[in-house]
Amino acid sequence: MHLRIRLTCRKYEIWALSIFSLVTGLYVLHFSIALILVNKEVPQTRGMLYPRESETREVRSLDGIWNFVRSDQANPTQGVRDEWYAKELSKSRPTIPMPVPASYNDITTDNLRDHVGTVWYDRKFFVPRSWSKDQRIWLRFGSVHYEAYVWINGQKVVKHEMGHLPFEAEVTDLLSYGAENRITVMCDNALIQTTVPQGRITEVPNDGGMTIVQSYTFDFFNYAGIHRSVHLYTTPRTFIEEVEVTTNLSKDATVGEVFYSVSVNGSAANEADNVLQIQANLYDKDGILVANATSDQKLGGKLQVNPVKPWWPYLMHSEPGYLYQLEIKLLATNDELLDVYRLKVGIRTLSWNSQQFLINGKPVYFRGFGRHEDSDIRGKGLDNALMVRDFNLLKWIGANAYRTSHYPYSEESMQFADEHGIMIIDECPSVDTENFSQELLGKHKSSLEQLIHRDRNHPSVVMWSIANEPRTGSVSADSYFELVANFTRSLDKTRPITAAIAVSNTQDKAGRSLDIISFNRYNAWYSNAGRLDMITQNVIDEAIAWNKRYNKPIIMSEYGADTLEGLHMQPAYVWSEEFQTEVFSRHFKAFDELRKKGWFIGEFVWNFADFKTAQSYTRVGGNKKGVFTRARQPKAAAHLLRKRYFALGRDLDQCSFPEDLFTYIADLIS
Amino acid sequence: YTENDFLVNANRKELTDSPLFEYDNVRKPTPTKGLLYPRDSETREVRSLDGMWQLVRSDPYDPLQGIREKWFMDALRKTGREIISMPVPASYNDITTDNLRDHVGTVWYERTFFVPRSWKTMQRTWLRFSSVHYSAVVWINGRNATSHSIGHLPFESEISGLLSFGGDNRITVMCDNRLSNRTIPQGSVYKVATDDGTVPIQSYTFDFFNYAGIHRSVHLYTTPLLHISDLEVTTQLTKEGLGRIDYRVWLDASKEGLQIQPIQLRVQLRDKDGHVAAQQINKAVYHGTLLVPNATPWWPYLMHSDPGYLYNLQFELFVASNEKELESLQDTYRLPVGIRSLSWDNDSLLLNGKPLYLRGFGRHEDSDIRGKGLDNALLARDFNLLKWTGANAYRTSHYPYSEESMQFADQHGIMIIDECPAVNIDIFEPQLLENHMSSLEQLIHRDRNHPSVVAWSVANEPRSNKQGALKYFEFLVNYVREIAHGRPLTAAINANSSSCHLAQFLDIVGFNRYNSWYQNSGRTDMILNLLTIEAQSWRDRFGKPVIQFEYGGDTMEGMHSLPAFIWSEEYQVELFSRHFKAFDELRGRGWFIGEFVWNFADFRTAQTITRVGGNKKGVFTRNRQPKEVAHILRRRYFALAKELDMFGLPEDLTVYISKHIHNEL
């Protein structure tokens, strides 16, 4: 009890340090210069398979309306000291209803939106009596931002930091079976210098006295709450804990190989491993068995598929996103079925060199978006309807990729990308990092370890992005990013590593550690605002400079301009739809020059849709750089971008134009 | 049904003078059974089938192809048609980028799910849909499970005999969005020539988009073989503060369940802190009365400091165990209950003996992307905005809203005028009357236990000036009165008081009128007198309490004009202000008991030149942000609360301007 309180209090003790640091900037600078980074071990994630029902497993959702309490900002740990988790939350404070999954910020009409500190959730649920026999029960959260502490029936279950990634714990012995149970969650949204992403907490005077202010440099609203689904699921006592899959494709693309490796947890596994077997069955989309194998002892093996249907990206093949189903059966002596777990597998191969990135032996040209998980009312909360709409729009526009800027997106969206052949540059939550401390390094590596653990089996994930716009000009960035990149490589040697860099190529110290260089630049916006005639050459020159310096493939990962839908001005003026269209067009000219050089392999618009940010006089209701509005309706630039992306699709992949790509004007114009 | 039900006689003249119908052979609805809201308990499991389903769109020219070709017998993928990922619950219309939005006819949904082996023994498994619009046919593993129409109401079926326990199962749903003369609401389907050939066009006169799909949650749930299948609760509160709950319980058993001998029914009422406030044990009797001394009443928002107080009524059914004389728990079901009294006379509607003045909104279930699909985040936001505004009521215009929203209203003390889906009905066919009665019977069955429901609305803007309306509504209202479960009947009427054939049958007269909008556009000086004269004429003619259910003007957020010009935010403010003067004049007359804005938020409609992206009469935008008038309305509603209920004003109600300007309202 005391230790947990201490862990909680420690975060807030750092506030004082932050205030001190603000006062003595010189001290901070000195500290940075002296920093020596040490490569330390990162805790290894276990389990965390996405919950799926089977003959041996049940899944129960705890989504719905929960009870919610906001702590006093001045006293974020009161709930822990007063043991609010020991009884119903409504007995400690009046509660309000709060939907899960959702951010809590935009649900009410008061200033919960800008709350800093802890909030509390609870709800009750029944667990069936049938679950009490020979089963283990797990509680799994898809995402709680930023930090979560969880109790069941007043007993502590788990703590997790890193808001965008899942965590789980076994709760078999904490539950009441055939009866009502209570789950309590404390959620803390505070960001400090050693969280990923970084922020600062300061105490400043306001009209009512003193108040806590959360500040951060990243450009999206720090939405908080239980953002993704909460699941209870059962496994057998001895169960499949992990499955790792890698795939390979023969050069003529006729033979596919699936390598699988299974980890088992439970008493049977501990007693005598040699009695356990894995039966692996691979089914095609029509449910036809195309390969199978039995493995014992090592619990891993290889499946060969001939002829194979490879996983191809959207527009590179008439049947993109082809997925097999891998059925893993855990068998004990006498072929007794212990557990079944199924996952989708896409068979593809990746390779890269200093000039190209190839999938299934074919060079890839990425075209797509930086995005956010963001919408009205729900904030960052998981929403199936929004997700389907977004993927429909991605395909409508002819995009083949997106970056999960600036944090891991939902597991459900990763599954969707697999199914639709949309390639993902999978980014960890490290955004706008500065102050490269030892503790931050540990958290950063942990976020990548958890991310790769969660997403390694997705064929749509073609690259890891280890940071967005870190201050890579600073002295310690060199060793810091070498450590991060090499750590990432140690986790996954099958995918290249990139990062989205915003410092100039002459100042950057991270690029040498990467496989692919991505850069963000806003010509005619943050630089040379309004100057449409100062885009094309600047983009070309910068991309060439990056390639010359590092001799690696180059992607432009962000460009664009804020646009207020409905604003029209001729000639084009900033914020108008005409301006956004013109900004894009001038970039297209640059990209087409760069594509001829061979090493320019991708263009990404910032952003897919308008999204909420912190309040600033430069943000009109939020960031308006979206090609679509926040309500997912197109601005004029969306139609222009669609013509470009499908033109690239025809040029590079020989796919045909959609019938409605062009608007009929006259017979003379074809 | 057959195709002919959806095709209309092209001779339009017949529509204008529709014949008088006879209702001698009209059959009253078969009473609905069961359909309790699915709740986990010690004896029940609930499993959601919400999530990602697969959708196939039928050819609009051949909506029944899937039936002939038996698409339900196998995976939809085998049809060879395009598979579209589709979220459930959601309307399907705004999810894609093609014209699925305007699809007319059938679509097919499918998903697979596992059922635990433990559900196979000693239990029954039920499949329950809260809403599929408009009509649904459902198969499990290729075998027919159930079908239903009237899209806004739940339906369920036992599927124990269709399931594969411990294995994978497939559910298939055919959903048909077509509306005809006999559906509730009415519509018609025409074939028209387009540039791409002849296509069916759905037309309707109501002013909201005909969103379609699996709109609310799909649940699998288990019950014991013998289980509590239905509950009915009626409450009263005496002047001395004694609460009375009369309850009735229905049991249902499977074939095996018939062997089980019930011993007793234990009924316990628990307060919010879990303390037992009353209890009763019944043997071989399944109805009873609980008396609650010093009951905490259910009060509406702003009439009490603890509005929406709910007890938990727990029903436990005990049966004989293997050994004689010992009892074992067979089933448990818990129902939230609010204790209140409701009464009315020719001047007032009274709750717990106190006269009500209803102030609130007409609304829609409507939002970006999801259309009419159930959304907990939107629900929570909407109720927060209702309370922020100081509203105490809304009408579930123009159809039954989700069960979850009814629960929210109970919890928050928001009163509901609960409306059936009969909107703009015009051709008073006997079959329509049967469907209309059925929709009200199903609605009342679903909602009768909710304390927040204070009246039933039997129609919105029917063509009640038509000669055929008189017999139709006499028949309908007489039927509904038999099942009204202690609540008054009302309707939202837009005919003239002098020609209306419906109002005479009602307990409360509601009317819709858009002064300085549909009539006298731009003339905000032509509201006050016309409105007070009209309300008085309804009163004079029918002698009942009167409510204005709709008023307002479309407003483009961000548009400003001085002086006020139509569609501007200034115009909306001025229009509301003139109505407020009229309402305050009318309140002084004693029988005017409510004012409702049309609408709470902007919403989607069919495409017409008068709808700029949809209906823009919302006080809030479609994504739930306030227009200027929201703040004005808020000050009014809280001023009424202060005057009528002595409720303190929120601190942030007024905007500081100057030290010398008093902030009294």
DSSP annotation string for A381-428: ---HHHHHHHHHHHHHHT--EEE-TTS---HHHHHHHHHHT-EEEEE-
Which residue's structure tokens are 């369920």?
B156
Amino acid letter, residue B179: L
Res B574: pLDDT: 87
Which residue's structure tokens are 């609960």?
B418
Amino acid letter, residue B334: R
For residue A614, give the DSSP letter. -
Query: Do residues B637 and B391 touch, judged by C-beta distance below 8 A?
Result: yes
- The shortest C-alpha distance from B335 to chain A (Å) reads 15
Residue B1 has pLDDT above 70, yes or no: no
Nearest-by-Cβ selection for B167 from A55, A109, A391: A55
Segment A484-497, tens digit of pLDDT: 999 999 999 899 99
Mean pLDDT of the B19-24 span: 84
Mean pLDDT score of chain B, rounded to an integer? 91
List % helix, strand, coil for chain B (3-state, nearest 5): 20, 30, 45
B-chain CB neighbours of A286 within 8 Å are: 77
Region of residue B388 (phi > 0: left; psi between -120 and 50: alpha; otherwise: beta):
alpha
Give chain A's count of helices (H) and strands (E): 11, 32
Res A669: pLDDT: 52
Which residue from A minimizes the CA distance to B408?
Answer: A97
Res B322: pLDDT: 64
Which residue from A minimizes the CA distance to B74?
Answer: A286
Longest dimension (CA), chain B: 85
Q: Rounded to 5 degrees, what are φ and ψ at B202? A: -90, 125
Query: Quick check: A385 and B167 CB within 8 A?
Result: no
> What percent of chain B lies above the pLDDT cut of 70?
95
Nearest-by-Cβ selection for A388 from B87, B167, B272: B87
Nearest Cα to A600, choosing from A533, A668, A548, A665?
A548
Query: Quick check: B52 and A285 CB within 8 A?
Result: no
Amino acid letter, residue B202: Q
Which residue from A minimizes the CA distance to B388?
Answer: A109
User: In 3-state terms, what secondary structure has residue A54?
Assistant: strand
| Stretch among B218-222, B264-268, B322-326 having the lowest mean pLDDT | B322-326
Res A42: pLDDT: 87
User: How far apart are alpha carbons B34 and B2 in whole angstroms?
Assistant: 30
Q: Which helix (H) or strand (E) holds A137?
A: strand A135-141
CA distances from A643 to A216, A253, A402, A624 (A): 37, 31, 18, 22
> What percent of chain B lies above the pLDDT cut of 90?
76
User: In 3-state terms, what secondary structure has residue A556?
Assistant: strand
Instruction: Let me know if domain A58-189+224-236 sits in CATH 2.60.120.260.
Output: yes
Query: Do residues B381 and B616 touch, judged by C-beta distance below 8 A?
Result: no
Mark which residues 152-211 of A lie under 8 Å from B by CB: 178-179
A-chain CB neighbours of B167 within 8 Å are: 55
A-chain CB neighbours of B118 within 8 Å are: 128, 130
User: How far apart are alpha carbons A466 and A456 in whole angstroms?
Assistant: 15
Query: Quick check: B411 and A97 CB within 8 A?
Result: yes
Res A162: pLDDT: 85
Query: Quick check: A126 and B40 CB within 8 A?
Result: yes
Which portions of chain A are predicted below pLDDT 70? 1-35, 267-274, 296-298, 667-670
Query: Quick check: A416 and B95 CB within 8 A?
Result: no
Query: Quick check: B408 and A97 CB within 8 A?
Result: yes
| Stretch among A307-316, A641-650, B321-330, B641-650 having the lowest mean pLDDT | B321-330
Q: Which helix (H) or strand (E) holds B338?
A: none
Q: Do the domains at A58-189+224-236 and A364-653 have one common CATH topology?
A: no
- Active-site amino acid positions of B: 461
Other CB atoms within 10 Å distance of the CB of residue B430:
17
User: How far apart are alpha carbons A28 and A14 in whole angstroms?
Assistant: 14
| Stretch among A115-119, B187-191, B488-492 having the lowest mean pLDDT | B187-191
Query: Quick check: B90 and A129 CB within 8 A?
Result: no
Mean pLDDT of the B474-482 span: 95
Domain locations along chain A: 58-189+224-236, 238-345, 364-653
- Residue B27: alpha-carbon gap to chain centroid: 24
- The shortest C-alpha distance from A375 to chain B (Å) reads 10
Nearest-by-Cβ selection for B380 from A99, A179, A383: A99
Note the CATH number of domain A238-345: 2.60.40.10
User: How far apart are alpha carbons B645 and B648 in whole angstroms?
Assistant: 9
Nearest Cα to B215, choosing from B86, B85, B35?
B86
Query: Do residues B332 and B321 touch, judged by C-beta distance below 8 A?
Result: no
The angle at the Cα of A219, spanning A217 to A220, to the nearest 5 degrees, equals 120
A102 vs B: CB within 8 A = yes
Query: Quick check: A99 and B388 CB within 8 A?
Result: no
Instruction: Let me know if domain A364-653 sits in CATH 3.20.20.80.
Output: yes
Best mutation site among A57, A58, A105, A620 for testing chain B: the one with the most B CBs within 10 Å? A58
User: How far apart are alpha carbons A404 and A604 in whole angstroms?
Assistant: 12
Question: Which residues, 6+ apart, have CB-to-CB distance to B365 below 8 Å?
Answer: B215, B372, B374, B401, B402, B405
Res A211: pLDDT: 87
How many interface pairs between A and B have CB atoms less than 8 angstroms apart?
Answer: 108
Q: Hey, what are B78's tokens?
A: 């085998």
Nearest-by-Cβ selection for B368 from A130, A376, A384: A376
Beta bridge partner(s), residue B55: B84, B109
Query: Quick check: B368 and A128 CB within 8 A?
Result: no
Amino acid letter, residue B471: K
Beta bridge partner(s), residue A214: A201
User: How far apart are alpha carbons A57 and B65 in whole angstroms?
Assistant: 37
Query: Do residues B486 and B452 touch, judged by C-beta distance below 8 A?
Result: no
- The shortest C-alpha distance from A126 to chain B (Å) reads 6
Q: Which helix (H) or strand (E) holds A651?
A: helix A636-653
Query: Quick check: A381 and B378 CB within 8 A?
Result: no
Q: Hey, what are B252's tokens?
A: 């249902």
CA distances from B162 to A106, A316, B172 (A): 44, 42, 13
Q: Hey, what are B231's tokens?
A: 């509950």
Best mutation site among B381, B383, B385, B603 for testing chain A: the one with the most A CBs within 10 Å? B381
Beta bridge partner(s), residue A481: none
A-chain CB neighbours of B328 within 8 Å are: none
A-chain CB neighbours of B42 within 8 Å are: 126, 129, 178-179
User: How far apart are alpha carbons A121 and A63 in whole angstroms?
Assistant: 12
Query: Quick check: B42 and A392 CB within 8 A?
Result: no
